[in-house]
Amino acid sequence: MAKTAKKTKKVKKINLLIVESPAKAKTIQKYLGNGFGVTASIGHLFDLPRSRLAIDVDKNFEPEYITIRGKAKILKEILKEAKKAEQILLASDNDREGEAIAFHLRNAILRKFPDMKIMRIVFNEITPVAIREAVKSPMSIDINKVNAQKARRILDRLVGYKLSPILWKKVKNGLSAGRVQSVALKLICDRDREVEAFMPQEYWTIDVTLKQGKKTLTSQLVQFQGQKPDIKTKEEVQKLIKLFKGKTFKVADIKQKDKQLKPLAPFTTSKLQQASATRLGYTSRKTMRIAQTLYEGVNIGSERIGLITYMRTDSTRIADTALDAVRKFIGDTYPDELPEQPNIYTPMKKAQDAHEAIRPTYVERTPESVKSYLTGEQFKLYSLIWERFVSSQMKPYKSRILSIEFTCGDGLFRSSTTKVLEKGFYKALKLLAPKEKFHTLPSLEIGDDLECVDLTGDQHFTQGPSYFTDASIIKALEERGIGRPSTYAPIISVLIDRYYVVRKTKRLKATVLGRIISEMLEKTFPEIIDVNFTANVEKRLDEVESKNEPWEIMIGEFYKPFSEKVDYVMEHLESIKGVLEEPTDHICEKCNRPMIKKLGRYGFFIACSGFPECMNSKAVPLADCPKPGCTGSIIAKRKQNKKGKVFYGCTNYPECDFVTYFPPTNTKCPHCGYFLVERSDKKRGDYKMCVNPECDYMHLQEAEVSSGS
């Protein structure tokens, strides 16, 4: 009997969609169903090799791309899936980095399958409608975006690989420098110096408690003899109090002014990071990590949905469909707060406007309605985004400020209060609601007399600049045109990872190492870390993306003078390696050899000159011990527990038990000569205070100066 031939089962071809993250793939797969396969590249698969420059500067700066180490397996899986595909849709993020990912993926697939049909799709939100619309409207890869990303990558590689060897040779092995990070580092170093140089000045205010019948109110001295009072000392306060004590205060004027506060635009990336840092205490990296999960998809019951639009944007624009939806929602929920016409927000001049503002994909999904499906962090960040978006299309907040002025001799005193007329967009705010404290004033008329019940003096100190935080450094970078929405968080992260900057109690401070590097770069390459130069680079990258400038010309104009400067600095700059290892008067207690001051990754320390035979090391003294008769020094120590909290104690412990939890400064107290420590609170921000408990310099005044003192 003849054998029957085996029938080969024909495999049905699919449409393969490639995104960046597995979470996004999981969400989109549910929307597309049968006939589609969705896989993820997990970011870039191709990049410049780490071990060498990999840019041919003699051949139009042609880069050499290789498969990123550890990504070969992912590429193999993608090619395996591509073999089953009839068509491939590249759906990486709609920005320069995403376009470059799509470009390299397309080239890799075509090398294996030359006849494969490959298209690009983009979307701003991960919802069923948005994904299906994108699939229906495929397009070609935007080569101008690819070139702009290539130009940035090459420029950063040239700067990093040319500057880093200078730091290795002249400062310390293992250091590195980046183009944009170096500018941010300079801003932080400059601010640190301003904070440290500032010396608070003492001043006083005088308040009076007035009474009419059973009602009382408090008023403050705002003018004396026609001038704004400039009260410097407690003695001056006492003299003024004597002038007003026991006198009658007369109502001189009553004013009222109506104030209108318009709602803010929906979030851009930088504004979201700033609000998240200020309101929630999240770092920029944490904010973007949480936003990514909200964008890529969250399980809401049996449904998986992206809750927010794309979170890397510099635009305040919103789609017409979203505008219609939010106005309908406001009309149903807050009907009295719906303006007749939509509120329109003008984008910043430097905005690329490639994406919408950050907003909820479905405004009907209020934070409370999805709270049970979100983590605590997701809920808080989603609430910020939802509140900002909804409030942006509501009526203004209106209030009335009532101001009453009183005269007594040569003094003019003023009391003010605010009355809410219309809550407007405040009705939609909870997490973003301002903390307001209103008090009522008694009904008075001009000419009324009031009795003085009490007079008090309050001590204050002028506030200087504050250390940068995540919120304020992002704001500074944005205002100066440095970086883009996708780079703000990485800029801060790189500086912290390299230990050029540390984050302490949410404040960003340059380390000793960071300052040394910044000062050297400022001295040798001022044009590279110049704010205007960096902002101009961003503009030219935009020009490359707009096809107004070839990327090779942009890089070429930069590279020749830069390369010549690198060669000159490498040859002529004096090394400070020796300077960073200073001899000290300390003798190693383990081997009796002299100890030297060295710079490590975490700042200066004192180590035995017999290293590596002797591994003894200790902290650098920060100040002399303030205890009378003690000859010890104050050093940083760490508690021996899980938290390992840093404190500052005497080297003569246990004989000397001095301890403070506030970092010593190298500034002496102008009152007693002891050292000042760094302090911070909500009322006064960053300030310095004398470590001597017997000295009143910048110490909180427990007792008020009053008429009875």
Q: Is the pLDDT of residue 1 over 60?
A: no
Contacts for 646-655 with beta carbons within 8 Å, 24 or more apart? Answer: 648/622, 650/625, 651/621, 651/625, 652/625
Q: Is the pLDDT of residue 9 over 60?
A: no
CATH fold, domain 14-141, is: Rossmann fold (3.40.50)
**pLDDT tens digits along 459-476:** 888 888 999 999 999 999
| Res. 678 pLDDT band, cuts 50 70 90 | confident
Q: Is the pLDDT of residue 99 over 80?
A: yes
Q: Is the pLDDT of residue 545 over 70?
A: yes
- Per-position DSSP letters for 608-650, written without gaps between them: ETTTTT---EEEPP-EE--STT---EEEEEE-SSSS--EEEEE
Least reliable range by pLDDT among 32-41, 360-369, 529-538, 600-609: 600-609
**pLDDT tens digits along 11-58:** 567 899 999 999 999 999 989 988 899 999 999 999 999 989 999 999
Looking at per-residue confidence, does 118 or 654 come out higher? 118
Instruction: Give the catalytic positions in this structure.
Output: 310
In the predicted model, what is the mean pLDDT of residues 191-206? 90
Q: Is the pLDDT of residue 337 over 70?
A: yes
| pLDDT at residue 705, as a whole number | 37
| pLDDT at residue 534, as a whole number | 87
| pLDDT at residue 10, as a whole number | 56
Write out the residue limits of the CATH 2.70.20.10 domain(s) in the chain.
Answer: 202-262+397-461
| Res. 430 pLDDT band, cuts 50 70 90 | very high
Q: What is the mean pLDDT of the chain?
A: 89
| pLDDT at residue 686, as a whole number | 74
Q: Which of 192-201, 363-372, 490-499, 500-509: highest mean pLDDT?
A: 363-372
Residue type, 214: K
- Per-position DSSP letters for 454-476, written without gaps between them: EEEEEEEE------EEHHHHHHH
**pLDDT tens digits along 627-650:** 888 888 888 887 766 566 788 889
| pLDDT at residue 577, as a whole number | 75
What region, left, alpha or beta, does residue 17 occupy, with left being phi > 0 and alpha being psi -120 to 50 degrees?
beta
In the predicted model, what is the mean pLDDT of residues 177-184? 92
Write out the residue limits of the CATH 1.10.460.10 domain(s) in the chain.
Answer: 150-198+466-572
Enter the tokens of residue 116.
Answer: 């494969």
**Looking at domain 202-262+397-461, does it have CATH number 2.70.20.10?**
yes
| pLDDT at residue 172, as a whole number | 80
Q: Is the pLDDT of residue 127 over 70?
A: yes
Write out the residue limits of the CATH 3.40.50.140 domain(s) in the chain.
Answer: 14-141
Give the CATH superfamily of 269-391.
Answer: Topoisomerase I, domain 4 (1.10.290.10)
Supply angle C-alpha 27, 299, 265, rounded to 5. Answer: 85
| pLDDT at residue 4, as a whole number | 52
**pLDDT tens digits along 242-283:** 999 989 999 999 999 999 999 999 999 999 999 999 999 999
Q: Please report, rounded to a whole number, the percentage of residues in the chain having pLDDT higher than 70.
A: 94
Residue of 192, 292, 208 whose CA lies nearest to 250: 208
| pLDDT at residue 355, as a whole number | 78
Write out the residue limits of the CATH 1.10.290.10 domain(s) in the chain.
Answer: 269-391
Enter the tokens of residue 174.
Answer: 């293992």
Radius of gyration for the alpha carbons in the chain, expressed in angstroms and rounded? 32
| pLDDT at residue 385, as a whole number | 98
Q: Is the pLDDT of residue 683 over 70?
A: no
- CATH (residue range 150-198+466-572): 1.10.460.10
